[in-house]
A = this chain, B = another copy of it.
Amino acid sequence: MARRIRRPLGPLDLRAQAILRAVIDEYVTTATPVGSQALVAKYRLPVSSATVRGVLAELEAAGMLSHPHTSAGRVPTDVGYRYYVESINVMEPLPAVEQLMIRHQFGQVEFASEHWFRLAATTLATATGSAGLATPAKPVAARLRRIDLVSIHGRLASLILVLREGTVKQQLVHFDNVQTQEALAAASMLVNQHLADLTAAQVERRLPRFGEAGGEDEVATLARRIGDLVLRTMRDFDHEKIEEVFSDGLLNVLAAPEFAQSDKVRRVFSALENRAYLGDLVDAIGGRGRVHVFIGQENRPEEMHEVSLVLAPYGQPGRAMGVVGVLGPTRMSYRHAIGTVSFVSGLLDELVDHLYA
Report A's interface with B, CB cutoff 8 A.
110-114, 145-146, 148, 150, 152-153, 156-158, 160, 162, 164-166, 168, 170-172, 174, 250-251, 254-255, 259-262, 265-266, 269-270, 273, 354-357
Given contacts A111-B174, A172-B112, A265-B254, contact A166 B145 (CB under 8 A): no
The 7 closest A-B pairs by CB, nearest first: A158-B166, A168-B170, A112-B171, A260-B262, A262-B262, A168-B168, A265-B265
Q: CB-CB < 8 A to A250: which residues of B? A: 269, 273
Residues of B with C-beta under 8 A to A357:
153, 156
Residues of B contacting A174 in the complex (Cβ-Cβ under 8 angstroms) = 111
Contact A148–B146 (Cβ < 8 Å): yes
**Contacts A150-B146, A152-B355 given: A111-B172 contact, CB under 8 Å?**
yes
Chain B residues positioned under 8 Å from A158 (CB to CB): 162, 165-166
Q: What B residues does A145 contact at CB under 8 A?
A: 150
**By the criterion CB–CB under 8 Å, are B152 and A165 in contact?**
yes
Given contacts A157-B166, A166-B170, A254-B262, 5 further A-B contacts (CB under 8 A): A111-B174, A113-B172, A250-B269, A254-B269, A259-B262
Nearest chain B residue, comparing its CB with the CB of A257: B262
Bound complex: CA of A82 vs CA of B302, how far in Å? 42
- Complex formed: what's the CA distance from A194 to B171 in Å? 26
User: Contacting A162 at CB < 8 Å: which of B146, B160, B251, B273?
Assistant: B160
22 contacts between A and B (CB under 8 A): A111-B174, A112-B172, A148-B148, A152-B166, A152-B355, A153-B357, A156-B355, A157-B166, A158-B166, A166-B170, A166-B172, A168-B170, A250-B269, A251-B266, A251-B269, A254-B262, A254-B265, A254-B266, A254-B269, A261-B262, A262-B262, A265-B265
> Please, which residues of chain B bring their CB within 8 A of the CB of A260?
262
CA distance A260 to B357 in the complex (A): 53
Closest to A261 in B: B262
Output the least CB separation between A141 and chain B (Å).
16
- Considering the chains assembled together, what is the distance between the CA atoms of A50 and B153 in angstroms? 67
* Complex contacts, A165 vs chain B, CB 8 Å: 152, 158
Within 8 Å CB of A273, what residues of B?
A: 250-251
Q: How far is the CA of A340 from the CA of B319 in the complex (A)?
A: 45
The smallest C-beta distance from A346 to any residue of chain B, in angstroms, reads: 21
Task: Tell me the complex Cα distance, A255–B111, Å.
Answer: 41
Bound Cα distance A112, B161 (Å) = 14
Closest chain B residue to A111, Cβ basis: B172
- Contact A160 B150, CB 8 Å, known A251-B266, A251-B273, A270-B251: no
Residues of the B chain whose Cβ atoms lie less than 8 Å from the Cβ of A164: 152
With A and B bound together, what is the CA distance between A165 and B171 in angstroms? 11
Docked CA distance A153–B152 (Å): 32
Q: How far is the CB of A265 from chain B (nearest CB, A)?
A: 5
Cβ distance A18 to chain B, nearest Cβ, rounded Å: 35
Cα A114 to Cα B171 with chains together (Å):
9
Chain B residues within an 8 Å CB radius of A354: 156
Which residue of chain B lies nearest to A254 when distances are taken between CB atoms in the complex?
A: B266
Instruction: Kindly provide the distance from the CB of A81 to the nearest chain B CB, expressed in whole angstroms.
Output: 23
Closest beta carbon of chain B to A111's beta carbon, Å = 5
Contacts of A114 on B, CB cut-off 8 Å?
Answer: 170
